[in-house]
Structure 1
Amino acid sequence: MAVPVLIVDDNPMTRGFLARVVRDSFSDALDLSEAGDLHTAGPLLDANAPKGSTPPFGLVIVNLELPDGSGLELLSQMSNYPALKVVTTLYADDEHLFPALQQGADGYLLKEDRYEVLVEELQRIVRGQPPLSPAIARRLLAHFRDTGYSSSQFGDSGHTPLDPSPALSEHDRLTPRENEVLTYLSKGFTVKEIASLMGIKWLSVNDHIKAIYRKLKLSTQPRAATT
Structure 2
Amino acid sequence: MAVRVLIVEDNAVARAFLARVVRDSFSEPLEIVEAGDLESARRLLGLHPQAAGHAGVFKLALLDMELPDGSGLDLLIRMAQYPALKVVTTLYSDDEHLFSALQCGAQGYLLKEDRYEVLVEELQRIVKGERPVSASLARRLLAHFRLPGDRPSRFGDSALGGLAPPTSSDDADRLSPKEVEVLTYLSKGFTLKEIASLMGIKWFAVNDHIKAIYHKLWASSGISAGAARSAG
Superposition TM-score tier, normalisation by shorter sequence: 0.7 to 0.9
Matched, 1:139 2:140: no
Please give the secondary structure, in 2, of the residue aligned with 1:62: strand
Alignment partners' CA distance in 2, 1:120 and 1:113: 11
User: How far apart, in 1, do the equivalents of 2:77 and 2:170 lie?
Assistant: 29
- What's the CA shift for 1:98? 1.2
Unaligned runs of 5+ in 1: 151-167, 221-227
Which residue of structure 2 aligns with residue 4 of structure 1? 4
Give % identity: 52
SS in structure 1 at match of 2:146: coil
TM-score (norm 1): 0.72
Partner of 2:19: 19
Change (3 A) 1:147 1:118: same
Preserved contact between residue 10 and residue 37 of structure 2 (Cα < 8 Å)? yes
8 Å contact kept, 2:192–2:207: no
Deviations 1:112-133 (A, max 9, x none): 1111111000000111122xx3
Q: 1:105–1:55: structure 2 CA closer, same or farther, 3 Å change rule?
A: farther
1:202 is displaced (CA, Å) by 3.8
Tell me: CA distance 1:195–1:88, structure 2 relative to 1, closer, same or farther (3 Å): farther
Q: Find the counterpart in structure 2 of residue 105 from structure 1.
A: 106
The farther-off stretch of 108-117 and 193-202 is 193-202
Task: State the distance in 1 between where 2:197 and 2:211 align.
Answer: 12
* Structure 1 residues 21 and 216, CA gap change in structure 2 (3 angstroms): same
Amino acid at match of 1:120: E
Residue correspondence of structure 1 range 160-199 to structure 2 within 5 A? 171=171, 173-183=174-184, 186-189=189-192, 194=196, 198-199=200-201
Task: Give 1:92 shift.
Answer: 1.8
Deviations 1:118-157 (A, max 9, x none): 1000000111122xx343xx1222214556728xxxxxxx
The 8 Å contact of residues 144 and 219 in structure 1, kept in 2 or not, is answered as no
In structure 2, the partner of 1:38 is: 38
**One-letter code aligned to 1:209:** K
- Asked whether the equivalents of residues 63 and 89 of structure 2 are also in contact (C-alpha less than 8 Å), the reply is yes
Q: Flag as ranges the 4+ runs of structure 1 deviating above 6 A.
A: none
Uncovered stretches (5+) of structure 2, i.e. residues with no partner: 148-167, 223-232
Which structure carries more relative contact order (alpha carbon 8 Å, separation 6+)? Answer: 2
- Using the size of structure 2 for normalisation, the TM-score is 0.71
C-alpha displacement at 1:43, in angstroms?
Answer: 0.6
Residues 168-195 of structure 1 show CA distances to partners (whole Å, capped at 9, x for unaligned) of 96945533311333356553326xx849
**Counterpart Cα distance in 2 of 1:139 and 1:94:** 7
Q: Read off the aligned partner of 1:188 and give its amino acid letter.
A: T
Q: Which residue of 1 aligns with 2:156?
A: none
Q: CA RMSD in A?
A: 3.4
